[in-house]
Structure 1
Amino acid sequence: MNILRWLFDAQLTIGGGFILWREVLGNFFGLASALGGMRRKVWAWPIGIIGNLLLFTVFLGAVFGSPNPVNLLGQAGRQVMFIIVSVYGWYQWKAATSRGDAAVSPRWATWKERLILLVALFGGTAVLTPVFRALGSYEPVWSDAWIFVGSLLATWGMARGWVEFWLIWVAVDAVGVPLLFSAGYYASGLMYLFYGCFTLTGFFVWWRTRNRQRRVQVETRFPDPTVEVTEGKRK
């Protein structure tokens, strides 16, 4: 219990400010989860859940008695959402590996799916902004709502194997960095800044993986007859 109490209260003092170690550890687990997701590893999901649990206590500072009294309801709520969607993603990827398949095969979303994502992102932000404001979330509240909705869609897209989910994360990070810095969550703000670069890398990695798998599928379905003739002569 003493170790848990220390983990809950421990701070890293920087100049006149501080950073909670829970915030640092939570973002560390989040980064490890993102790395696992880029490599399409099943362990990315449970590792991410640990980080979500830690960050949930961080972003409800006033509720849990943290030194930072600012509540970011969208940030806290998205940790709960992460856990729920991560359980789904964990099940989906694990089921695929149990069948002998890859955890997920990256694919481009259809135009219909892309339209649904865009409508859900902007529509969900518009709907949740007054809700979060009424609950007393930190201004600008639309940023908190944008991050919440975008995170939900990105996590869902990752579970489905859509290459575009990385771009949704970029949109989330672009709004999240200034919001977190203004609210005093410096560790998370720095991590969001790093995530922005990381998610762009992940996008191109999944894009190349998709192209490589597509080439293999085409070559398997339509083999090169020239290669077959040459091999036949060698035999």
Structure 2
Amino acid sequence: MNESFALFGLNTTPLELLSFVLSVATVLLNIRQNHWAWLLAILSSATYGVVFYGARLYGDMGLQLVFITVSFWGWYQWLHGDETHDRLPVTRSSRRGLLMAGAGWAAGFAFLAWFLGRYTDTDVPNTDAFLTAGSLVGQVLLSRKKLENWHVWIIVDVLYVALYIHKGLMLTALLYGMFVAMAAVGLLAWKKSMGEDGSAAQAMVLK
């Protein structure tokens, strides 16, 4: 699964290609607020963990393990996560929630940058740490169906494109370029699924 081959002029491996397909399907289902997205997220995280290990992106590799754990929690939240244990609606984060998200991102970055720089042979400890911490924040917001998760993913995915080009993971760089556009679509779609006053609504979008 690790033998390289050319696909439309891009060097890739069967495992990276599989991860690509699963990741695209995951985001498409997230946009539609379909809970089966979490199953595909678990599978894509497992395969991408192996890909990132081979590229010495240890922060991203560890992130996939966290994603697998968080995905089980997110799956439950989407199905039974509101106060009535009904399907979780889309809502906006409070100011306190946004401050906590920012603080968590900063703290995660500081710890991961130190850990990766000291205990691994990665050549991009700061970049890997910053994007890993941001991805964790985005995943938690996504799990709670907070609209702002899409803002986080847009920022993170733009920077990931540059990182994966640097690492020679061209198909994954293309994937994250697609993720930027898909996150923008997700942001608009989730806004439409909310009430005019920003209150929660259960409407599905992009059917």
- On the 8 A contact 1:52/1:79 being kept in 2, the answer is yes
1:42 aligns with 2:35: yes
Note the C-alpha offset of 1:189. 0.8
Q: Matches of 1:166 and 1:19 in 2, distance apart?
A: 28
What secondary structure, in the 3-state scheme, does the structure 2 residue paired with 1:211 have? coil
Does structure 2 retain, via aligned residues, the 8 Å contact 1:151–1:169? yes
Q: Does 1:82 align with 2:67?
A: yes
Name which of 109, 113, 116 aligns with 2:93: 109
Per-residue Cα deviation, 1:147-184 (whole angstroms, up to 9, x for no partner) = 21111111111111100001111111122111111011
**TM-score, normalised to structure 1's length?**
0.77
Which structure shows the higher helix fraction?
Answer: 1
Check the 8 A contact 2:109/2:129 in 1, yes or no: yes
Identify the residue that residue 182 of structure 2 maps to in structure 1. 198
Distance 2:8 2:31 in 1: 35
Contact 2:10–2:170 under 8 Å retained in 1: no
- Does the C-alpha gap of structure 1 residues 134 and 9 become closer, same or farther in structure 2, counting only changes over 3 Å? same
Q: Does 1:127 align with 2:111?
A: yes
Letter in 2 for 1:79: Q
Query: Match for 2:17 among 18, 24, 46?
Result: 24
> Secondary structure in 1 aligned to 2:6?
strand
TM-score, normalising length: structure 2: 0.87
Larger Rg: 1
Shift of 1:57: 0.8
> Does 1:168 find its partner at 2:152?
yes
The answer (yes or no) to whether the contact 2:49–2:61 under 8 Å persists in 1 is: yes
Hey, what's the Cα distance between the residues in 2 that align with 1:145 and 1:43?
A: 29
Deviations 1:51-95 (A, max 9, x none): 11111111111xxxxxxxx31001111110110100101122233
Per-residue CA distance 1:170-207 (angstroms, 9 max, x = gap): 11112211111101111111111110111011111111
Return 5+ residue gaps in structure 2 as ranges.
202-207
Is the contact between residue 24 and residue 187 of structure 1 (CA under 8 Å) also seen in structure 2? yes
2:47 matches 1:54 = yes
Identity rate, percent: 25
What is the aligned length?
200
The root-mean-square deviation of aligned C-alpha atoms, in Å, is 2.4
Residue deviations 1:108-152, cap 9 Å, x none? 000000001111112211221021112325333211111211111
